[in-house]
């Protein structure tokens, strides 16, 4: 078996920040992953025996989860039974020395374990507590179970996704969860800054899945408020912005965004339609929206007889934004991804080498990094408990009781 890379000391922007992660699956752990990539020491608490269910998603033949390798890199794993009184006390000890707690259980779960905000802040007034849930910590839906897919629907995204008049479709990835995670990361960073400059007091960050989705829905509600308009699914087009759509070529589709005023004129000249380029009523977006079907037809007539490579070359030379629809294979082979370190090799602790996504955003002075591969369940239990002051004898007793593993 190939030895895994040894964890290295962090020099990232968040070096010295300790995070306790109690979440599972996607939203909470994706936030922990993001903060860990920039140097935070992320200690993930998992249930002995089973661990995070994500460990069993997208498996190789030997049981290695490829998704887990991305979601949990740069983390340390401690297997701890939070349903036991002794496990809860250990968790309180760990959280007392932490900067951040991330959790994405249903509201009230931590309170039932004696790990609610009121209890935790007594021992750690500077604690920043991120709580991600389906509907938030307050409101009439607070206690309902919520997953990212439901948040995408309630947030308005599913209604806009797909072809007009067809069954609403999902984006294809867990976008509701990751949007909540990224909003959570923003909240953590803001709260840590506030703590630093305002006397060291922590606070709670409350992120609801549907609100994170709703926050990126642009002018959806203002349109309804002003015009009574309910925007519907529009396929590849962006309603109210023209021209911007997917157009058929001889060997696939290209996306063309010709909706800037000067870009539109260059696009029309390039496809041999100077009449449209100079039409007075098409010099602004409002006029182009009124004739969007005509513009889409003109662009489609030009692309339909040409291969994608030619279309992209011609439009690129004319400085018109255009691109093909990438598959995983396209991404993996694209030189631009490689040049910007967005495809990186990562060796797992089971001896596999995988290509995994790189790190976003890119900081010039304190860039993010992959310091260690995703841990096996309980890989770091003993080390973390020793850091908390427990002796090897105490750890052995806890292990014998099944409280840690």
167 part of a folded domain: yes
Q: What is the mean pLDDT of residues 303-312?
A: 98
Q: What is the mean pLDDT of residues 306-332?
A: 97
Asked if 345 and 357 touch (Cβ cutoff 8 Å), the reply is no
363 part of a folded domain: yes
Percent of the chain residues past pLDDT 90, beyond the cut: 93
10 part of a folded domain: no
**DSSP one-letter string for 299-360:** HHHHHTTS-HHHHHHHHHHTT--EEE---HHHHHH-HHHHHTT-EEEEE-TTS-EEEEE--S
Percent of the chain residues past pLDDT 70, beyond the cut: 97
397 part of a folded domain: yes
Q: Are residues 167 and 299 in the same domain?
A: no
Q: What CATH number corresponds to the domain at position 293?
A: 3.30.1540.10
Domain span at 276: 244-326
Two tokens, residue 241: 């912005």
DSSP alpha helices (H): ranges in 58-165?
66-71, 85-96, 109-112, 117-123, 148-154, 157-160
**CA dist., res. 39 & res. 31, Å (int):** 13
Any idea of the CA torsion for 325, 328, 333, 338, to the nearest 10 degrees? Answer: 100
Q: Are residues 347 and 322 in the same domain?
A: no
User: What confidence tier does 8 reach under pLDDT thresholds 50, 70, 90?
Assistant: low
Q: Are residues 192 and 49 in the same domain?
A: yes
7 part of a folded domain: no
pTM for this model (two decimals): 0.93
Count of CB atoms situated within 10 Å of the CB of 248: 12
Q: Do you find a cis peptide bond into 361, omega within 30 degrees of 0?
A: yes
Q: Please tell me the total count of domains within the chain.
A: 2
Q: What is the pLDDT of residue 368?
A: 96
Boundary of a domain, candidates 307, 326, 345: 326
Q: Are residues 209 and 100 in the same domain?
A: yes
8 part of a folded domain: no
Q: Are residues 339 and 318 in the same domain?
A: no
Boundary of a domain, candidates 303, 326, 349: 326
Q: Are residues 112 and 140 in the same domain?
A: yes
Q: Are residues 305 and 351 in the same domain?
A: no
227 part of a folded domain: no
Q: Are residues 259 and 383 in the same domain?
A: no
- Count the alpha carbons within 13 Å of 387 in the hemisphere toward its beta carbon: 16
pLDDT score of 62 more than 90:
no
pLDDT score of 3 more than 80:
no
Which of 16-20, 133-137, 237-241, 360-364 is predicted least confidently? 237-241
Q: Are residues 278 and 345 in the same domain?
A: no
**Residues labelled catalytic:** 177
Q: What is the mean pLDDT of residues 24-36?
A: 97
Q: Are residues 45 and 182 in the same domain?
A: yes
Q: What CATH number corresponds to the domain at position 189?
A: 3.40.50.10540
From the number of C-beta atoms within 10 Å of its C-beta (0-12, 13-18, 19+), residue 246 rates as middle
Q: Are residues 133 and 156 in the same domain?
A: yes
Arithmetic mean of pLDDT over the chain = 95
Two tokens, residue 197: 């400059």
Q: What is the pLDDT of residue 23?
A: 87
Boundary of a domain, candidates 272, 295, 326: 326
258 part of a folded domain: yes
pLDDT digits (tens, 9 = 90+) for 210-239: 999 999 999 999 999 999 999 999 999 988
Q: Are residues 115 and 164 in the same domain?
A: yes
């Amino acid at each position: 078996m190939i030895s895994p890379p040894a964890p290295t000391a962090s020099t990232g922007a968040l070096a010295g920040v300790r995070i306790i992660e109690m979440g599972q699956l996607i939203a909470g752990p994706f936030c922990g992953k993001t903060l860990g990539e920039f140097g935070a020491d992320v200690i993930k608490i998992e249930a002995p025996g089973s661990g995070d269910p994500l460990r069993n998603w997208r498996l190789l033949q030997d049981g290695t989860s490829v998704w887990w390798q991305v979601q949990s890199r740069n983390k340390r794993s401690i297997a701890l039974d939070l349903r036991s009184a002794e496990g809860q006390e250990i968790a309180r000890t760990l959280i007392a020395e932490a900067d951040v707690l991330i959790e994405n259980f249903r509201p009230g779960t931590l309170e039932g374990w004696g790990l609610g905000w009121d209890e935790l802040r007594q021992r750690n007034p500077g604690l920043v507590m991120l709580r991600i849930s389906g509907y938030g910590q307050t409101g009439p839906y607070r206690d309902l179970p919520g997953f990212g897919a439901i948040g995408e629907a309630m947030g308005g995204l599913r209604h806009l996704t797909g072809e007009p008049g067809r069954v609403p479709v999902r984006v294809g990835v867990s976008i509701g969860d990751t949007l909540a995670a990224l909003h959570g990361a923003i909240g953590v960073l803001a709260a840590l800054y506030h703590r630093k400059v305002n006397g060291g007091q922590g606070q709670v960050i409350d992120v609801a899945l549907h609100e994170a989705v709703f926050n990126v829905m642009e002018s959806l509600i203002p349109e309804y408020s002003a015009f009574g308009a309910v925007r519907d699914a529009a396929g590849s087009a962006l309603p109210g912005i023209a021209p911007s759509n997917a157009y058929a070529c001889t060997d696939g589709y290209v996306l063309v965004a010709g909706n800037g005023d000067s870009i539109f004129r260059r696009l029309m000249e390039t496809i041999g339609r100077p009449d449209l380029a100079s039409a007075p009523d098409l010099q602004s977006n409002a006029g182009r929206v009124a004739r969007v079907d005509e513009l889409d037809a003109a662009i489609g007539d030009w692309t339909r007889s040409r291969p994608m490579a030619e279309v992209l070359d011609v439009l690129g030379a004319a400085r018109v934004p255009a691109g093909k629809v990438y598959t995983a294979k396209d991404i993996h082979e694209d030189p631009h991804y490689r040049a910007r370190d967005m495809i990186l090799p990562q060796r797992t602790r089971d001896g596999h080498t995988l290509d995994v996504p790189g790190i976003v955003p890119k900081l010039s002075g304190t860039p993010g990094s992959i310091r260690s591969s995703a841990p096996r369940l309980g890989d770091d239990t003993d080390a973390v408990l020793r850091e908390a002051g427990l002796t090897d004898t105490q750890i052995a007793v806890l292990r014998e009781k099944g409280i840690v593993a």
